[in-house]
Structure 1
Amino acid sequence: MTLAETITIATVNNGDMIRMQGLTAEFNALHPDIEVNWVTLEENVLRQRVTTDVATQGGQYDVMTIGTYEVPIWAAQGWLVALDDLPADYDIDDLLPSIRDGLTVDGKLYAAPFYGESSMVMYRTDLFEAAGLEMPAAPSWDFINEAARKLTDKDGEIYGICLRGKAGWGENIAFLTATANSYGARWFDEEWKPQFDSDAWKQTLTMYIDLMQEAGPPGSASNGFNENLALFQTGKCAMWIDATVAASFVTNPKDSQVADKVGFALAPDNGLGKRGNWLWAWSLGIPAGTDSEEAAKKFVAWATSKAYLELVADKEGWANVPPGTRASLYANPEYQKVPFAQMTLDSISSADPKNPTVDPVPYVGVQFVAIPEFQGIATAIGQQFSAALAGQITAEQALQNAQVLAEREMRRAGYPK
């Protein structure tokens, strides 16, 4: 009897990944010689753990859930295994170009997308109707601000809007950077000089804090994706601007009390030609330090395949398949019936990582800056912005601190290069 080979997979505690773990038996049926050990972590903790492990070649994990930010940086460092020998039926050409491009270095794929996302507005159609409001398909920030205040009923525990406030480069900074783009703000000018002392950043952060303090739930500074999802599903939010992937969770009657009362719109703009929507893929990558490369590749190919999408559709319905990765999914007549399918595709297609904001920038990335230093700088700045939302410091003070911090770290890292 052959002993099973064990692979350890580090993943984030988001709904689609929890579902993937629940389907482990399906993978085992195909690969009885591979045992799967799961390590499931909150987003900020996952990022910290996998970054440490891959940088030191610690070998704790054989498959890591990583994002569009990490993949090109880590691949360039030689930290990831190239996925250039996936089986022919994997159909790499079926991956959506914008998602695939973000995971490709020198023509080779270094992580396989599990789901792709942009961001959009999710809103309560019943509350809008009762208030005599109509959500435009492509709303402005002025409309969102006005509607949020009108829809807030603090006595009834219904808040006009729920937005990320939890500190983290993938939490509040993701939302605020994408929002700042629509206000014409940028992280750095073309000479890599930080821009947090600009009027555009001041307008962005002031608008966000005023909106959340007047129309958001209490304790917003602690709320990330999962906390806001729970608030929306239990009927506490009239609007939520966040990842398009949340659409399947807010419309699933098993989990959501408002499943039949949700509408979708594009992320807001401010009349400057850019919307506040991001581009991201949670992907499965294999660290160069693994001793189980072949087994890890089999798992990655299975979990990100067309067959996996069909498996989820068969068990949970088409609305619950991981979205945003394959053209064939959006060409599927069954999937086209899903109410948020086209809005998700439109949002993903409109994000432009090479020209993320109004003015030119020296970096790639919509809600992040694709340089190794970003993770540390953005985590610290996220803490400043979260403190301002909590009322511990002013928006002006938070931006001043962000500017000083970013200037110091960029100088230390040797920019401009």
Structure 2
Amino acid sequence: MTTTLRALLGATALCATAGIAAAQDNVTLTIATVNNGDMIRMQGLTDEFTAANPGIQVQWVTLEENILRERVTTDIATQGGQYDVLTIGTYEVPIWAKQGWLVPLELGDAYDVDDLIPAVRDALSVDGKLYAAPFYAESAMVMYRTDLAEAAGVTIPEAPTWADIRDAAAKMTDKSKEQYGICLRGKPGWGENMGFITAMANSYGARWFDTDWKPQFDSEEWKATLTDYLAMMNEYGPPGASSNGFNENLSLFQQGKCAIWIDATVAASFVTDPATSTVADNVGFAQFPNREGVDNRGNWLWAWSLAIPTSSDAQEAAQTFIAWATSKEYSELVAEREGWRAVPPGTRTSLYENPDYQAEAPFAAMTIDSINAANTQKASVQDVPYTGGQFVAIPEFQGIGTAVGQQFSAALAGQMSAEDALAAAQSNTTREMTRAGYIK
């Protein structure tokens, strides 16, 4: 299965790195990462690492999510050796590890790998070996403006249905004030709009494929999913939503322009940060919605993680950096500088047992409950031949998911109807799955 992955699919650091072989001296690590807030914060703390490890310098390559995925996939599939540390997710890790493209991690006893949340650790392991260390992990949930809900006479239950969300979005919309009832991902990409829409489809009882790997976009569940998604966004969403991904919607919510935002749990620390969010004191949280009568909340499981490609010539230094950046000591460093609320979430059991974190992070319980509720072995209430929550864990999904995301984004932009987008998704995905040999 190569064929270029079937179309290119500080001082506190010292105890964290104890037990690891001494890293190479006088090396420069090139680290590819995503332009999310937690990664930007890590870059700001890099001097702590280099001070404790004077033989290692760090060079950052920070990219928008879709571009990051494209570049690191190309580099690792061609064994280009451009990067020493990759920021990748739960989709790539098991596929790339089985290809022999990633270095198994040996992070030392002081790292306490057993403290990693079991579901997250398992998602990043193959045959019991850890191939990436989680920097932060997430599921998905509802974030909403409590002040606007109160003013509109709306109550959002802790476990809402999509009908509850639509009703609340309608009552909390005032476009004359640039106050939009709901913000959802629209930017095309298998991990952008399709990350969200796949989770929503799961919560509607849909599935990507039946047990014979035949696409299911012609099903009632998918039609209801896309129809309702487009209706909410067209009626209550912001203009230009087909270009909005995680970061764009985060900015809108922080500026007070979104009444409801449904997205990754990791966003909670940013929307409640008074230094960056104008609505920090008026944010409530609820579980990811479900369609009434469907016993599935579409909980996804994702971890932005740090991994080492086998093509790196600085593997020991890379292990040292990863041990620092994903350690308990790093969390304590962030807490010391910016408070416990800002600590990267979702990776360690000890964080959710920490009373200081619980006191400062009102979203902590909802986050860990959502992560623990994710069932990546069976994302749909229907029988499926694949694993994965908001993605399908096969190499071909990177290309197929992005192609479907482009069609759905075009529908959101008004360039085609929901029916035409679903028909195109059905036709194109059937062709690609047949070509790949899944459909006989």
TM range (shorter): over 0.9
CA deviation string 1:28-58 (max 9, x = no partner): 1110100000000000000000000000110
Is 1:278 aligned to 2:278, yes or no?
Answer: no
2:48 is matched with 26
The one of 266, 269, 275 aligned to 1:245: 266
Residues 1:415 and 2:438 are matched in the alignment: yes
1:298 paired to 2:328: no
- Give the Cα–Cα distance (whole angstroms) in 2 for the partners of residues 184 and 416 of structure 1: 23
CA RMSD of aligned residues (A): 0.9
Does 2:416 correspond to 1:393?
Answer: yes
Alignment of 1:149 with 2:170, yes or no, is yes
Report the equivalent of 1:45.
67
Conserved? CA contact 1:103–1:109, under 8 Å: yes
Between the aligned partners of 1:3 and 1:304, the Cα distance in structure 2 is 21
The SS at the match of 1:259 is coil
- Give the corresponding residue for 1:377: 400
Which AA in structure 1 matches 2:363? Answer: F
Alignment pair present for 1:162 and 2:183: yes
Deviation at 1:350? 0.5
Aligned to 1:107: 128
CA deviation digits over 1:239-267, x for unaligned, max 9?
Answer: 00000000000000110000111011000
Cα distance in structure 1, aligned partners of 2:153 and 2:221: 32
1:354-369 equivalent positions in 2, closer than 5 A: 354-369=377-392
Structure 1, unaligned runs of 5 or more: none
1:102 maps to a residue whose letter is A
| Contact 1:187/1:194 (<8 A) preserved | yes
Amino acid paired to 1:7: L
TM-superposed CA distance for 1:86, in Å, is 1.1
Partner of residue 200 from structure 1, selected from 221, 224, 243: 221
For 1:3 and 1:301, how far apart are their aligned partners in 2? Answer: 17
Give % identity. Answer: 70
**Does residue 189 of the first structure (1) align with residue 210 of the second (2)?**
yes
1:138 aligns with 2:164: no
Q: Which residue pairs with 1:66 in the alignment?
A: 88
Aligned mates of 1:282, 1:77 — CA distance in 2: 20
Q: Does 1:348 align with 2:381?
A: no
Indicate yes or no: 2:198 matched with 1:177: yes
Q: Report the 3-state secondary structure (helix = DSSP H, G, I; strand = E; otherwise coil) of the residue aligned with 2:61.
A: strand
Matched, 1:326 2:348: yes
Offset at residue 278 of structure 1 (A): 1.2
Q: 1:284 to 1:3 in 2, by over 3 A?
A: closer
- Deviations for 1:195-248, whole angstroms, at most 9, x for unmatched residues? 111110000000000110000001110000000000000000000000000000
Q: TM-score, normalised on structure 2?
A: 0.93
Q: Is the 8 A contact 2:183 2:238 kept in 1?
A: yes
Partner residue in 2 for 1:213: 234
Answer yes or no: is the 8 Å Cα contact 2:298–2:379 preserved in 1.
no
CA drift at 1:4: 2.1
For residues 276 and 211 of structure 1, the distance between their equivalents in structure 2, rounded to whole angstroms, comes to: 18
> Secondary structure in 2 aligned to 1:191?
coil
1:54-133 to structure 2, matched below 5 A, reads: 54-83=76-105, 85-133=106-154
Relative to structure 1, the CA distance from residue 31 to residue 3 in structure 2 (aligned partners, 3 Å threshold; closer, same or farther) is closer
2:247 corresponds, among 212, 226, 238, to: 226
- The alignment status of 1:9 with 2:36, answered yes or no, reads no
Q: Does 2:428 match 1:405?
A: yes
- Measured against aligned partners, the alpha-carbon deviations of 1:146-179 in whole angstroms (never above 9, x if no partner) come to 1101110000110000000000001000000000
Spell out, residue by residue over 1:61-92, the C-alpha distance to the aligned partner (whole angstroms, 9 max, x if none): 00000000000000000000001x21101111
Secondary structure of 1:163's match?
coil
Q: What is the Cα deviation at residue 276 of structure 1?
A: 2.6
- Does the 8 A contact of 2:299 with 2:375 survive in 1? no
Matched letter for residue 22 of structure 1: G
By how many angstroms is 1:360 displaced?
Answer: 1.2
CA contact (8 A) 1:179 1:277 kept: no
Q: Does the residue aligned with 1:344 lie in a helix, a strand or coil?
A: helix
Q: Is the 8 A contact 1:356 1:365 kept in 2?
A: yes
Distance 1:241 1:119 in 2: 7
Gaps of 5+ in 2: 1-23
For residues 277 and 42 of structure 1, the distance between their equivalents in structure 2, rounded to whole angstroms, comes to 24
Separation in structure 1 between the aligned mates of residue 218 and residue 179 of structure 2, nearest angstrom: 35
Give the letter aligned to residue 25 of structure 1.
Answer: D
After TM superposition, the runs of 4+ consecutive aligned structure 1 residues lying more than 3 A away are: none
Residue 195 of structure 2 aligns with an amino acid whose one-letter code is A
